[in-house]
Structure 1
Amino acid sequence: MLYLIGLWESVRDFIATGGFVLYFVAAALLIMWALMIERWYFLSLEYPKLRDSIISNWEARLDTTSWSAHRIRDAWVSEASEKLNARMLIIKTLVAMCPLIGLLGTVTGMIAVFDTMATQGTGNPRLMAAGISMATIPTMAGMVAALSGIFFSTRLETRVKVAKEKLVDSLPHH
């Protein structure tokens, strides 16, 4: 329990040092990881059932060679592909947005530095340090969030592509 309190205080201090923009980075990160975990869950547990259902329906058909049978096959593959790719664009967008949100923190931090310089002069580096921290921490946080998302989202994209190719290969059209 004390560990969690200490962890919370560290996070709170980090956000206080980096400014309000870190809340937006945290929100984007939370949504991105929730979606990636959902996609991983779908690919691991739900999609195999869908794939097996499509394959068994295809193998149960008497006609697998006619034009209409090929259109049915294409429709089933398309439906599975749509379910496989669901929310992947949102994940990729959130990965791309994280560094941009961090740059927004850079801009707001630099505004704070310039505001301090305008009101207090340039002679006191201590007064400018808070604004400089507010400028660099959100940038770092945005890049770290994006890096964590890039790796996992790329793995998800690869799994989606392989799953679709295996489904297509599992539905022979004679």
Structure 2
Amino acid sequence: MMALLEISNATSAIGEFMETGGQVLTVIAGVIFIMWLLIFERFVFVFYSYRSVKKHLVNCWKERTEHTSWYSEQIRTALISRGTTKLNRNLVLIQSLVVLCPLLGLLGTVTGMIEVFDVMAISGSGNARSMASGVSRATIPTMAGMVGSLSGVFTITWLRRNAKKEAELLADKLTVQH
């Protein structure tokens, strides 16, 4: 019963936060959710699925009886390319979402400031209380966009570095055996 109450309180707090940030914050949350879903998929691939892919590619190479001809070198290059392609899948999309987050935060800043200016135009003065919600709508999406972007930058850097390292290791495994 206590856990249900805490979940309810957390849900209402998140709802209030989302309302405070405006519609742009909802879009930013969606982009961050999709970005982290793709990042999670990449982690699962790297830590679990890639081993079987690599094993299959190495076995394809080892089953060949001849490794020194031009044709064999093209097959080796194709096998390495397949592994590299699988390692780099969705990294460009994740990178695009990382770049999109601060831009959406900037959009939230602009829409929040437009709200502030509307309040000033309607009231004819700088009423601080009425301007506060607009300033909040301006700063919260900016913060959310930056936090989402920074979290994605670190993970995409690691994923790219890991993909490069694994591609090099695969190329080493598929060496020409004399």
Shorter-chain-normalised TM-score: which range? Answer: over 0.9
| Structure 2 counterpart of 1:94, from 93, 97, 101 | 97
Q: Which of 143, 153, 160 is matched with 2:163 structurally?
A: 160
Q: What RMSD, in angstroms, separates the aligned Cα atoms of the two structures?
A: 0.9
Which residue number corresponds to residue 12 of structure 1? 15
Alpha-carbon distance in structure 2 between the residues aligned to 1:82 and 1:160: 9
Q: Does 1:106 align with 2:109?
A: yes
Shift in Å, 1:3: 1.6
In the TM superposition, 1:36-51 aligns within 5 A as 36-51=39-54
> Where in structure 2 are there 5+ consecutive unaligned residues?
none
Structure 1 residue aligned with 2:85:
82
Report the Cα distance in structure 1 between the residues aligned to 2:39 and 2:12, rounded to whole angstroms.
27
User: SS at 2:66's partner residue?
Assistant: coil
Match of 2:122 in 1: 119
Unpaired segments ≥5 residues, structure 1: none
Q: 1:125 to 1:173 in 2, by over 3 A?
A: same
Q: Tell me how many residue pairs correspond in the alignment.
A: 174
Cα distance, 1:123 vs. partner? 3.5
How far apart, CA to CA, are the structure 1 residues paired with 2:81 and 2:136? 49
Deviations 1:53-111 (A, max 9, x none): 11122122110010000000101111111111110000000001001001110000000
Spell out structure 1 runs of 4+ moving beyond 3 A. none
Q: Match of 1:163, as an amino acid?
A: E
Rounded Cα–Cα distance in structure 1 between residues aligned with 2:60 and 2:130: 70
Aligned counterpart for 2:152 among listed residues 125, 149, 153: 149
Name the stretch that deviates more: 56-65 or 87-96.
Answer: 56-65
| TM-score, normalised via structure 1 length | 0.97
Matches within 5 A, 1:131-142: 131-142=134-145
Q: Check if 1:55 corresponds to 2:58.
A: yes
**Distance (whole Å) between structure 2 residues aligned to residue 43 and residue 173 of structure 1:** 26
Q: Distance in 2 between matches of 1:91 and 1:74?
A: 26
